[in-house]
Amino acid sequence: MATATEPEDAPSAAGGAKGEANRKRGNEQGQGGAGCGGSGQKRKKKEVFIYGNYKNYYGYRIDRNVGEDPRLEAFNRQWFENKDCLDIGCNQGLVTIGLAMKFKCRRILGVDIDSGLIETAKWNLRRITRQDKVATKNTNAQESSNSPSQSSLGEVAPELSNENKHHDLFKIVSFRRENFVERLDGCSEQYDTILCLSVTKWIHLNWGDYGLVTLFVKIWRLLRPGGVFIMEPQPWTSYKRNRLVLEVAKENFNTICIYPEKFREILLDKVGFRSVELIMDKLVGTVTGFDRPIEVYHK
């Protein structure tokens, strides 16, 4: 069983602290605030999303004419059905919830570094569950009005079944605020499927090559034998567009040695995944710039 070692040029604690300080300043600037002019007038600063933690990400990524995230259409049911799953960088949780509902995951956890997005994800879970519950009740009422009268027991049973269905969704889906690459210790094999969709660039720009390798090694350690890692990496051209989002991102961009085209080699030859398949070279239903390939690695 292959394992991976930490890169020899790992950043020092001082460098990490400096980077974290820069990221915190970036977060503070991203909140908007007072200008520094002598007039004392407040000027709203442009919001900066240093982790790619956009508030309306799904709104401008997915074609308005497409109801479902097209990535779900590309996924294989057997990767999720009755499986324990992890969604890294879940944003507002819509893909996480969609996977649970479409493929009947046994359990799925969505993690994101942005606490505000995690709260929105939890709200979305409540909203979608409530809407689905109302739709199911309306369907049952319509079917009941169009069919012969049933016994009181027969009328109650479907409602109880639906209540259990919605109650189970809360048991299946959960969300947690977490910096996934903050630590490597304490990892154990507990997931069958792990997703990392359009996240690698932001980890790379914020934590450099060391953060990227930490991401890959931690995913490998968390996967059970036979597990699946689904990755949607951003191309290097995308890095160039976002390298100035923060000073630490600019510094990391200039020192990166592991380019996106090398990810496959690192994951197979260094980390220890046994095989990879390209399930989608170009997605249909996404706006320009988001039609990225999706790779599936098998442990």
Least confident range of 9-23, 129-143, 206-220, 262-276: 9-23
pLDDT at 136 over 50: yes
User: pLDDT above 70 covers what percent of the chain?
Assistant: 62
Identify the three-state secondary structure at position 244: coil
Please tell me the total number of residues recorded for the chain in this structure: 299
H or E segment to which residue 295 belongs: strand 294-298
Q: Which residues pair with 228 in a beta bridge?
A: 193, 298
Would the pLDDT of 72 be above 60? yes
DSSP structural state of residue 105: B
Percent of the chain with pLDDT over 90: 53
pLDDT in tens, 100-119: 999 999 999 999 999 999 99
Q: Residue 18 pLDDT more than 70?
A: no
Q: What is the mean pLDDT of residues 263-285?
A: 87
Does the pLDDT value for residue 51 go beyond 80?
no
Of residues 177, 225, 235, the one with CA closest to residue 204: 235
Asked if pLDDT for residue 163 goes beyond 60, the answer is no
Whether residue 297 contacts residue 267, with contact meaning beta carbons closer than 8 Å, is answered with yes
Pick the more confident residue, 59 or 222: 222
Interatomic CA distance for residues 193 and 24, integer angstroms? 32
Output 43 or 174, whichever has higher pLDDT. Answer: 174
Dist CA 63 CA 275 (whole Å): 32
Burial 213-223 (b: 16+ CB within 10 A, else e): bbbbbbbbbbb
**Eight-state DSSP code of residue 12:** P
Quote the DSSP letter at residue 275. Answer: E
Quick one: pLDDT at residue 280? 72
pTM: 0.74
- 119: tokens are 């709260």
Least confident of 55-64, 86-95, 216-225, 235-244: 55-64
In this prediction, residue 228 carries a pLDDT of: 98
